[in-house]
């Protein structure tokens, strides 16, 4: 089972992970179109945190025992066959219980839709886009046991 | 009929139990019993449903093939009238008896209705089930409901009030305590909630209760007026009683199962009878902040309690030690959260951090004891509140980053590196 490892020592805070997250979740999958034309512009589901000189990008950890899934009052959050924590925005009512319980602060609010938003591990394309486009290996894909890291 | 596992309750606790059992035991026979004749749904969504934010099918908590896929037999619309501990069986109202090896009681709660003069079976509503929501919907659709009264200013009462007001109904909330949400918010935050409600046309009457209901002389099932204990009269076409929910334990009468205010369980969620477990609104849960067992009627608590019970029922030792009071609410779109302590206890070495920006309706309060977070309230600045709750769960000393705790951009970056490393590798939280 693969998970994203955060390597804060090598992160330079370039925010390409955020950029490529937006592109990966855009309709066009095109960087120019995604940023210039798509309305609403997709929201990055990874967040670069910065307190100079430290920085890192962090997204959902896809916990082996995801408390957000256990707590979700609508059944919108679920674990798929691969152990990835996914969110069905059609079922989400925006109660924000997931935000109350996620210890990583990894769940965002889509203010327009009034629904939660989170990293989907780029399930459709294989390697998560943030990892693929990180120039410094600040995010890497590593093999972990069933119980996590 | 004989089953390896029986689960009483088709809601959060029951489903949590069933999913956990099926994680380890795919074959053992498993049945869920509920007197609600519907597929598993979320009762916490009925305010959204009543308002029309979601359609009926969105109430369902799990996909329609859930029972099939998990090899679960269901007895829906079947009421349990008795538990026979000796013969390890539950008895249904229709006389059928179901035997079990392991039992999970996730029977939830029933709304408490106080004796009030003039109240009868048919002239008021409660608001805890989809059936209640449908009845209220029908009533609103069938007639001229102009004025409604909600008795109870707790979460359920306020959610009912907000839903009713979306139909252009003039709503008054009557709460006996001096402020609304008294169990989950402090003074300032509950006043902010009152303001939000009042600004949206809901009248909030605190410090009073209903002393009498006056019915229509021609139709005793129709209320004309509500009389408060200060003699004020309120016109009323629809009354909702939402002063609280009590554990549903009627079928446990005369059993040896240990009951305090709710069913008493250990950290494995097992009752005093081996192989009989309980969770959710019907049970007393260990609260690690208060260090006591207490009723903790919350959706996540029911699910996780059920899950822990399910693991143990399927032979996997697991304990639930992380129960706590926590709430995520929303009134007219304004998000409000609380977790752990809401007021600083008088004794002990407590410290309180607050931030109040009335013009932005932002309020934040964190209660610390010896630099460990013991409570949080946040109004309208709720992003990443879970990080703070995580600090509580893990007993993390915040002295080195206390200055950042209250700011809107508080984040993992302010944690000491060692702690962050542990968090990112999942060894904590
Ligand atoms: C309007 C409303 C809004 C809420 N909002 C929130 C929220 O935002 N966040 C939150 O955390 N919590 C919320 N809650 C609370 C939450 O819904 C409960 O804590 C949760 O449903 C408890 O789950 P449970 O499995 O313990 O019991 P319940 O959901 O009460 O289910 C009990 C089950 O047991 C069955 N049962 C009981 N006795 C018998 C019997 N004798 N025979 C047959 N079947 C029986 C019932 O039919 C039912 O299926 C809300 C509740 C309400 C009413």
Q: What ipTM is given for this predicted complex?
A: 0.97
Residue B404 has pLDDT above 60, yes or no: yes
Q: Does domain B339-424 have CATH number 3.30.390?
A: yes
What's the mean pLDDT in B63-78? 98
Would the CB of A73 count as within 6 Å of ligand 1?
Answer: yes
Would the CB of B299 count as within 6 Å of ligand 1?
Answer: yes
B306 three-state secondary structure: helix
Contacts of A148 in chain B (CB under 8 A): 425-426
Closest CA to B385 of A105, A53, A120, A43: A105
Domain ranges of chain B: 2-109+247-313, 113-243, 339-424
pLDDT of residue B428: 63
Give the A window 12-51 contacts with B, CB below 8 Å.
Answer: 47, 49-51
Q: Does domain A62-118 have CATH number 3.30.70.20?
A: yes
DSSP B150-215: EE--SHHHHHHHHHHHTTT-EEEEEESSSSTTTTT--HHHHHHHHHHHHHTT-EEEES--EEEEEE
DSSP B11-55: SHHHHHHHHHHHHH-SSS-EEEEESS-SS-B-GGGHHHHHHTSS-
- Reported as a pLDDT band with limits 50, 70 and 90, residue B429 is low
Contacts of B385 in chain A (CB under 8 A): 99-100
CA closest to A106 among chain B residues: B384
Q: Look at ligand 1, atom 33, and give the residue with the nearest C-alpha.
A: B9
Q: Which fold has domain A1-59+124-144?
A: Alpha-Beta Plaits (3.30.70)
Residue B403 has pLDDT above 60, yes or no: yes
Query: Which of B164, B299, B301, B320 best tests ligand 1's pocket when mutated (most atoms within 8 Å of CB)?
Result: B299
Would the CB of B119 count as within 6 Å of ligand 1?
Answer: no
Interface test with B, best of A75, A85, A113 (most B CBs within 10 A): A75
Domain ranges of chain A: 1-59+124-144, 62-118
The reply to whether residue B300 touches residue A70, judged by beta carbons under 8 angstroms, is yes
* Cis status, amide bond into B325, omega within 30 of 0: no
Per-residue tokens: B330: 């929303």
Contacts of A96 in chain B (CB under 8 A): 328, 330, 335, 337, 382
Answer whether A81 touches B (CB < 8 Å). Answer: no
Distance CA B326, CA B86 (A): 37
Per-residue tokens: B19: 């999913």
Would the CB of B108 count as within 6 Å of ligand 1?
Answer: yes
Q: Provide long-range contacts, Cβ within 8 A and 24+ apart, for B365-368.
A: B365/B186, B365/B188, B365/B189, B366/B405, B366/B406, B367/B340, B367/B341, B367/B343, B368/B398, B368/B402
Q: Look at ligand 1, atom 5, and give the residue with the nearest C-alpha.
A: B44
C-alpha distances out from residue B285 to A32, B99, B182, B267, B300, Å? 53, 27, 20, 8, 12
The reply to whether residue A107 touches residue B386, judged by beta carbons under 8 angstroms, is yes
Establish whether domains B2-109+247-313 and B113-243 are of one fold.
Answer: yes
Q: What percent of chain B has pLDDT over 90?
A: 95
CA closest to B47 among chain A residues: A93
pLDDT 10s digits, A51-94: 999 999 999 999 999 999 999 999 999 999 989 999 999 999 99
What's the mean pLDDT in B328-338? 97
Q: What CATH number does domain B113-243 carry, 3.40.50.1820, 3.40.50.1370, 3.50.50.60, 3.90.1150.10? A: 3.50.50.60
pTM: 0.97
Establish whether domains A1-59+124-144 and A62-118 are of one fold.
Answer: yes
The reply to whether residue B424 touches residue A71, judged by beta carbons under 8 angstroms, is no
Give the B window 401-420 contacts with A, CB below 8 Å.
Answer: 411-414, 417, 420
C-alpha distances out from residue B364 to B167, B390, B402, B417, Å? 32, 17, 14, 26
Q: Are strands B97-105 and B2-8 parallel, antiparallel or unpaired?
A: parallel
Q: Which fold has domain B2-109+247-313?
A: FAD/NAD(P)-binding domain (3.50.50)
Distance to chain A for B309, nearest Cα, Å: 14
Rounded to 5°, the CA angle B328-B334-B337 comes to 25
Q: Give chain A's length.
A: 149
CB of B364 closer than 8 Å to CB of B375: no
Could you count the other beta carbons within 10 Å of the beta carbon of residue A132?
Answer: 15
Q: Is B49 exposed, middle or buried (0-12, 13-18, 19+ CB in 10 A)?
A: buried
Q: Give the single-character DSSP code of B413.
A: G
Q: Give the single-character DSSP code of A147.
A: T
What's the mean pLDDT in B84-103? 97
Phi, psi of B35, rounded to the nearest 5 degrees: -85, -5
């Amino acid at each position: 089972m693969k998970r994203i490892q955060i390597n804060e020592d090598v992160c330079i805070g370039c925010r390409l992970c955020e950029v490529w997250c937006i592109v990966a979740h855009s309709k066009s999958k095109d960087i120019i179109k995604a940023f210039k034309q798509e309305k609403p512009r997709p929201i990055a589901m990874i967040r670069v945190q910065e307190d100079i000189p430290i920085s890192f990008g962090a997204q959902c950890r896809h916990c082996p025992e995801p408390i957000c899934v256990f707590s979700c009052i609508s059944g919108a959050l679920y674990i798929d066959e691969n152990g990835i924590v996914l969110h069905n925005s059609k079922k989400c009512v925006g109660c924000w219980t997931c935000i109350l319980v996620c210890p990583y602060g990894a769940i965002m609010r889509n203010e327009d839709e009034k629904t939660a938003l989170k990293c989907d591990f780029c399930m459709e394309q294989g390697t998560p886009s943030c990892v693929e486009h990180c120039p410094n290996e600040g995010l890497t894909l590593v093999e972990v046991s069933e119980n996590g890291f | 009929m004989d089953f390896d596992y029986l689960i009483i309750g088709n809601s959060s606790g029951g489903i949590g139990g069933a999913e956990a059992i099926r994680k380890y035991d795919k074959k053992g026979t498993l049945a869920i019993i509920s007197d609600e004749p519907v597929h598993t749904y979320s009762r916490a969504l009925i305010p959204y449903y009543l308002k029309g934010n979601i359609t009926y099918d969105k109430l369902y908590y799990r996909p329609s093939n859930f029972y099939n896929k998990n090899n679960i037999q269901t007895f829906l619309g079947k009421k349990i009238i008795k538990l026979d501990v000796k013969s390890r069986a539950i008895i249904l109202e229709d006389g059928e008896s179901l035997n079990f090896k392991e039992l999970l009681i996730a029977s939830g709660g029933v709304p408490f209705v106080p004796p009030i003069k003039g109240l009868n079976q048919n002239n008021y509503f409660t608001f805890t089930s989809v059936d209640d929501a449908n009845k209220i919907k029908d009533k609103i659709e069938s007639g001229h409901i102009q004025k409604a009264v909600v008795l109870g200013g707790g979460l359920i009462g306020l959610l009912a009030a907000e839903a009713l007001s979306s139909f252009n109904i003039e709503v008054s909330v009557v709460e006996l305590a001096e402020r609304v949400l008294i169990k989950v918010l402090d003074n300032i935050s509950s006043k902010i909630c009152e303001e939000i409600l009042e600004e949206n046309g809901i009248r909030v009457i605190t410090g009073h209760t209903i002393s009498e209901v006056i019915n229509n002389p021609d139709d005793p099932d129709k209320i004309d007026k509500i009389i408060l204990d200060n003699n004020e009269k309120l016109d009323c076409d629809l009354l909702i009683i939402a002063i609280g929910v009590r554990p549903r334990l009627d079928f446990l009468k005369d059993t040896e199962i240990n009951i305090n205010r709710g069913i008493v369980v250990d950290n494995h969620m097992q009752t005093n009878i081996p192989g009989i477990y309980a969770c959710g609104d019907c049970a007393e849960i260990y609260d690690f902040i208060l260090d006591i067992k207490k009723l903790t009627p919350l959706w996540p608590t029911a699910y996780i309690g059920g899950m822990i019970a399910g693991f143990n029922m399927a032979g996997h030792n697991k304990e639930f030690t992380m129960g706590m009071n926590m709430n995520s609410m929303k009134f007219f779109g304004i998000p409000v959260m609380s977790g752990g302590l809401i007021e600083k206890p008088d004794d002990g070495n407590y410290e309180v951090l607050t931030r109040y920006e009335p013009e932005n309706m932002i309020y934040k309060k964190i209660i610390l004891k010896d630099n460990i977070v013991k409570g949080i309230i946040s109004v309208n600045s709720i992003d990443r509140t879970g990080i703070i709750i995580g600090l509580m769960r893990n007993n993390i000393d915040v002295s080195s980053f206390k200055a950042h705790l209250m700011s809107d951009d508080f984040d993992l970056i302010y944690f000491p590196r060692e702690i962050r490393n542990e968090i990112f590798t999942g060894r904590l939280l």
